[in-house]
A and B are shown apart, each in its own frame.
Chain A
Amino acid sequence: MKNTILIILVSCFFSVASGQVEKGSVLIKNGTVLTITKGNLENTDVLLKDGKISQIGKNIAAPAGMKVIDATGLFVMPGIIDAHSHIALDAINEGTNAITPEVFTGDAINPFQMSIYRALAGGCTTSHALHGSANSIGGQSQTIKHRYGTFDPDAMKMEGAPRTIKFALGENPTGHGRRDGVQPQSRMGVEFVIRQAFSEAKQYQEKWDTYNKNKAVKGFRGAPPAYSLRYQTVADILAGKIIVHCHSYRADEINMILRVFKEYGIKKLVFQHTNEGFKVAPEIAAAGAMASVFADWWQYKLEVYYSTAYNAAILVKNGVVTSINSDSPDLIRHLYHEAGKTQKYGNLTDEESLNLITINPAKQLGVENRIGSLEVGKDGDVAIFKNHPLSIYAVPQYSIVDGIVRFDRAKDANDMRLIVDPKETIDVTYFKNSLDHDNCMQGVESLFGADANEQKN
């Protein structure tokens, strides 16, 4: 008996140890603090204690033995949040069916990727590790914190972050359907595939509801309905338990999904890319949906041809909660710069621009009570810049996650790899392709000729 208890205790200990969050303390002295939600504070200290912001004010005395960062002349802001990224993932697209809500990017986290450290070196401390856009209903996705240094994939997950899922409209899922000879191959098909999934999930849920009701009746002898992770997940969307992040470009498809969601009573909706969101900004605002956009991307395919870099400004001025995202291991390193472009394209104020990469993406991921601004009680996720973060001359100096300094420009080694592939030769170099599409199709490039072209050369 004693042994059994011991075994249980030991296994409990290990299951807690896996995914456990490391927390730290640090005092940031005398910076210009951009709180985001409560204005800018000059010559102010921020105390991070056991992973949380415990105090913001002047002349905070450093508790004995605590690490102190002198932020004199520097700008202190909340860690930047990217609502659309694919870094730290070993797989992005399932894509074997028009709907694959049963899969989860949280099962494919790779904590060793350099892109995580490089994102930190751009002040970005949290990202949304999204499934790709090969199919209309893609996989569930995971909000991660950039706890670079951990070897434990589960420790990357932001504990307590709401469930999210990727939807995709337009050219990517229809292109995929055409190559596989299945639905959807048109925007008509995309709507149908989504409606069909919702309707079938509704029936699925009704069967379970009936069973659960009857089960309580004395003498009931029926068998439970077959469990389906696929339809259970869609049923959870209908029940409002999952935030939908919907890859979309054209105004008509944005309107389509607003209509369908209204019909099924689904409220938690964030549009991703949303290049033509500016055309239907009033509709998006009226539905209470949100939008995550590029600062200026256009031209890479037909559905972005009629884009404008003024998109974010128009959405903001129409009252849509808007964020600027990266969808790229490069852009994630300079989201502060991407946000700055909204000052050129639409004259957004410093506050409005910074919201796009802090509190707004936090709202879109359902974690605004935890991150996205510097407030007492929130997580100790901080980025410290030389020069104002919206200036082109901004240079991130420190990135702090849960009170732990994960990036230190002055102290970090040049080579920050956690592991070295023994088979890798010293000369391996990677260079970008010249004609990029959005990174949402990663893993299925072979179907789009990219691989084929490469091999030809």
Chain B
Amino acid sequence: MKSIQSIAGIVIAVICFVVIHVEAQNAKATTGTFALTNATIETVTKGTINNGTVVISNGKIIAVGQNIAIPSGAQTIDCKGQTIYPGMIDGGTRIGIVEIGAVPQAVDQQEDGDIIPQMKALSAVNPNATAIAITRVSGVTTTLTSPEGGLMPGTAALVNLFGYTEDQMYAGFEGVVVLFPNTGRRGFFDRRTDDEIKKGVEKSLKQLNDVWEKALQYHKLDSTTKGKGLAYYPEMIAMLPVMRGEMPLLIEVNAQKDIQAALKWVKEKKVKKVVFTGVTEGWREAENIAKANIPVLVGPVIGIPSREYDRYDAVYANPGLMKKAGVKVAIRSQEDGNGNYRNLPYHAGFAVAYGMDRMDALKAITIVPAEIFGVSDKLGSIEVGKNATLFVANGDIMETKTQVSNVFIDGYKMPMESRQTLLYDEFLNRVPGVKK
């Protein structure tokens, strides 16, 4: 009898061991050769393919089209009734550097100092941030994490939302952030007088000019000495790639007046590579932005007009109006307050509802940001040779009804779960219910 009990005990223990596998954070990703068949493929760059197949191997897309031979040993995923999209790219996030907004110990987005381009967001990105899985299961696979505060808060980094080290996550782009001197108010509680604002802006602009002047000289010295014997000057070292034209300045600018000032500044200083970000009032200066050939990362699109007298839909319509004027437009979410970068396709959707062409809006969250970040050889479309960073959904990704069924990042098949889905699984039919 005793032995039966102990055998039963062992059996139960084995069952428990098999059934209850504890995941401290996320389930493991899997990799290999995958064939996604019978799908509608939104290649983004080469039209839509019906009833097509995408083959993924060694982290790359190796075949796209109809009548594709499936390699032996490939794991086939039937995507009938489903659409394959390239992974969405959000150029406006704090992923990995803000874990909980109101808890200072959980916020790494801002360092001390006004001009600190040497502060690298990439170093502070936590590969296990809760927002990572929450964001990627919605098809947003790649995000720009930007530091915040002061005039030059640091260097932003593009990361893929999968990996355990910064090297594994790094998606091949960094840019120095400039928060261009801002004449706008930060809310109705901002009671500075017009004069105070003007003086503050002038002071900041002077600072910015000083930095630029120093960076020019430092660059000249660096070029002539080939970097030998130069004193350690971290701010200037961080500026060198910008001066060389290897890295853009990401200039956050929103009010019309400030956009005008930034256009003038960029022209005067002959900045080699520039991206405007935010650009809430871009529609007011769209032609001049287009003329200056400066691409924009616009967003949030779902937002309130910045002026009382503006039309209620001014911010929704902004991306479409800029695109129409010839600006290269990428859409970002920048939903920092509530961590909802997963809403990126809805920002694109609102742009469509208020005038932007749907395909332009889809490009604005895929191939266009990839181009702006200089990674369009790897990301942003479904093409042979590109990274297998894509997802499968059961419809138009801009519609809230649509469900994402599979996400691949660099050929790794993501577990389709996050803390939020696990809570759903645990609590939908809670055990015990009201009575234990």
Contact = CB atoms under 8 A, between A and B. Distances in A.
Interface of A: 114, 117-118, 121, 171, 278-279, 281-283, 286, 294, 296-302, 305-310, 313-314, 317, 329-330, 333-334, 337, 340-341, 343-346, 387, 390-395, 414-417, 420, 424-425, 427-437, 445-446, 450-451, 454-455, 457
B340 A296 contact: yes
A77 B427 CA distance: 32
Given A278-B427, A344-B401, A450-B189, 19 more contacts: A121-B312, A286-B434, A298-B420, A299-B130, A309-B420, A313-B424, A334-B350, A344-B403, A414-B311, A428-B307, A429-B256, A429-B281, A430-B184, A430-B186, A431-B184, A431-B186, A431-B306, A435-B336, A457-B150
Contacts of B340: 296-298
Main secondary structure of the interface of A (DSSP, over half): loop
B117 interface: no
B185 A391 contact: no
B306 A283 contact: no
A428 B400 contact: no
Contact of B309 (A296, A415, A433): A415
Interface in B165-194: 182-190, 192, 194
B338 interface: yes
Contact of A301 (B100, B280, B310): B100
Contact of A281 (B101, B194, B308, B430): B430
Kindly list the 5 A-B residue pairs having the minimum CB-CB distance in the complex, ordered from nearest: A436-B337, A299-B339, A392-B349, A301-B102, A340-B400
Contact of B188 (A118, A390, A430): A430
Contacts of B256: 427, 429
A436 to B, nearest CB: 3
A68 B333 CA distance: 39
B187 A432 contact: yes
B397 to A, nearest CB: 10
B352 interface: yes
B346 interface: yes
Q: How large is the interface on B (under 10, 10 to 19, 20 to 34, 35 or more residues)?
A: 35 or more
A431 B280 contact: yes
A425 B420 CA distance: 46
A395 to B, nearest CB: 5
21 contacts: A114-B308, A171-B102, A286-B434, A294-B338, A296-B340, A298-B338, A300-B101, A302-B103, A310-B424, A313-B424, A314-B424, A314-B427, A337-B302, A340-B401, A343-B401, A344-B403, A429-B255, A429-B307, A430-B184, A432-B304, A436-B338
Contact of A337 (B307, B400, B419): B400
B400 A393 contact: no
B132 to A, nearest CB: 12
A330 B420 contact: no
Contacts of A114: 308
Nearest to A415: B309
B229 interface: no
Point out which of A118, A345, A432, A450 has the most chain B C-beta atoms below 10 A from its C-beta. Answer: A432
B17 to A, nearest CB: 27
B264 to A, nearest CB: 17
Interface in B323-340: 334, 336-340
B343 interface: yes
